[in-house]
A and B are shown apart, each in its own frame.
Chain A
Amino acid sequence: MSEQLVEPPAVWDDRHSRSGVGLLASRIGTFCIVELQKLRHDRSELVTRAIQPILWLVIFGTTFSQIRAIPTGGIPYLDFLAPGVIAQSALFIAIFYGIQIIWERDAGVLTKLLVTPTPRAALVAGKAFAAGVRSVAQAAIVVVVAAVMGVAMTWNPVRLIGVVVVVMLGAVFFSCLSLSIAGVALKRDRLMGIGQAITMPLFFASNALYPIALMPGWLQVISHVNPLTYEVSALRALLLGTPTSYWVDFAVLAGSAVAGIVCAAALIGRLAR
Chain B
Amino acid sequence: MSSAIDIRGLGYRFGTHRAVDDLTLAVEAGECFGLLGPNGAGKTTTIRLLNTLLPLQTGEVEVFGRSVRTQAMVVRRSLGYVPQQLSIEGALTGRENVEWFARLFDVPRRERRARVDEVLEMVDLRGDESRLASTYSGGMVRRLELAQALVNRPALLVLDEPTVGLDPVARDSVWLRVAQMQRDHGMTVLLTTHYMEEADALCDRVALMHRGALRALGSPDELKAAAGEGASLEDVFRHHTGEALGDHDVDGEKGGLRGVRATRRTARRLG
Task: Give A contacts to B, CB under 8 Å.
Answer: 1-2, 5-9, 11-12, 14, 16-18, 23, 26-27, 29-30, 33-34, 37-38, 41-42, 106-109, 111-119, 272-273
Interchain CB contact (< 8 A) of B78 among A12, A29, A41: A12
- Among the listed stretches B80-88, B221-229, B236-244, which one makes contact with chain A, having 4 or more residues with CB under 8 Å of it? B80-88
- Contacting residues, chain B, for A107 (C-beta < 8 A): 85-87
Question: Could you say which residues of chain B place their CB within 8 Å of the CB of A113?
Answer: 104
**Which of chain B's residues have a CB closer than 8 A to the CB of A5?**
1, 28-31, 186
Tell me, yes or no, whether B100 is within 8 Å of chain A by CB.
yes
Q: Flag if B77 contacts A14 (CB, 8 Å).
A: yes
Q: Given the complex, which residues of A lie within 8 Å of B66, measured CB to CB?
A: 12
Shortest C-beta distance, B104 to chain A (Å), equals: 4
Decide if A12 touches B73 in the complex (CB within 8 Å).
no
Instruction: Say yes or no: A16 contacts B106, CB within 8 Å.
Output: yes
Instruction: Pick the residue among B1, B84, B85, B187 that contacts A9 (CB under 8 A).
Output: B187
**B58-110 interface (Cβ within 8 A of A):** 64, 66, 73-74, 76-79, 81, 83-89, 91-93, 96, 100-101, 103-108
Stretch at the interface among B46-54, B120-128, B208-216: B46-54
Chain B nearest CB, measured from A101 CB (Å): 13
Q: Are A106 and B54 in contact (CB under 8 A)?
A: no
Determine the chain A residues whose CB is within 8 A of the CB of B104 once the complex forms.
Answer: 27, 30, 113, 116-118
Segment 171-219 of B: residues with Cβ below 8 Å from A: 179, 182-183, 185-189, 201-204
25 contacts between A and B (CB under 8 A): A1-B31, A1-B32, A1-B179, A1-B189, A1-B201, A2-B183, A6-B30, A7-B29, A7-B30, A8-B29, A8-B155, A9-B187, A12-B64, A12-B74, A14-B74, A34-B89, A41-B132, A106-B262, A108-B87, A111-B83, A112-B81, A112-B83, A112-B87, A115-B79, A272-B48
Q: Is B148 an interface residue (CB 8 A)?
A: yes
Are B186 and A8 in contact, with the CB atoms below 8 A?
A: yes
Q: Is B265 an interface residue (CB 8 A)?
A: yes
Cα(A29)–Cα(B81), bound, Å: 23
Could you say which residues of chain B place their CB within 8 Å of the CB of A27? 104
Given A1-B204, A9-B153, A27-B104, is A115 in contact with B81 using a C-beta cutoff of 8 Å? yes
A169 vs chain B, min Cβ distance (A): 24
Query: Contact check: which of A7, A11, A16, A114 meets B108 at CB < 8 Å?
Result: A16
Cβ–Cβ < 8 Å partners of A118 in chain B = 104
A45: nearest chain-B partner, CB-CB? B91
What chain B residues lie within 8 Å of A9 (beta carbons)? 153, 155, 185-187
Contacts of B92 in A (CB 8 A): 34, 37-38, 41
Q: How far is the CA of A26 from the CA of B201 in the complex (A)?
A: 41
Give the distance in Å from the alpha carbon of A17 to the alpha carbon of B81 in the complex. Answer: 18
Contacts of A38 in B (CB 8 A): 89, 91-92
- Chain B residues with Cβ below 8 Å from A14 are 74, 77
Nearest B residue to A30 by beta-carbon distance?
Answer: B103
By the criterion of a CB under 8 Å from any partner CB, how many residues of chain B are at the interface? 59
From B31, B64, B106, A11 is in contact (CB under 8 Å) with B64
Q: Smallest Cβ distance from A11 to chain B, in angstroms?
A: 4
Contacts of B106 in A (CB 8 A): 16-18, 23, 26, 117
Q: Which residues of B contact A117 (CB under 8 A)?
A: 73, 76-77, 104-106
B140 within 8 Å of A (CB atoms): no
Closest to A118 in B: B104
Is residue B119 contacting chain A, with contact meaning CB distance below 8 A? Answer: no
Contacts of B29 in A (CB 8 A): 5, 7-8
**Is B53 a contact partner of A108 (Cβ separation < 8 A)?**
no
Interface centre among B51, B74, B104, B107 (most CB of A within 10 A): B104
Output the least CB separation between B195 and chain A (Å). 15
Tell which of A18, A106, A111 touches B265, judged by Cβ atoms closer than 8 Å: A106
Q: When A2-B31, A37-B92, A108-B87 are in contact, do A26 and B103 touch as well, CB less than 8 Å?
A: yes
Query: Please, how many angstroms separate the alpha-carbon atoms of A137 and B252 in the complex?
Result: 38
In the complex, chain B residues whose CB is within 8 Å of the CB of A116: 76, 101, 104-105
Asked whether, in the complex, the Cβ of B182 is within 8 Å of the Cβ of A273, the reply is no
CB-CB under 8 A from B153, the residues of chain A are 9
Given A8-B29, A37-B96, 15 additional A-B pairs, CB 8 A: A1-B202, A2-B32, A6-B185, A8-B186, A33-B103, A34-B89, A41-B91, A42-B91, A107-B86, A108-B83, A108-B262, A112-B87, A116-B101, A117-B105, A273-B53
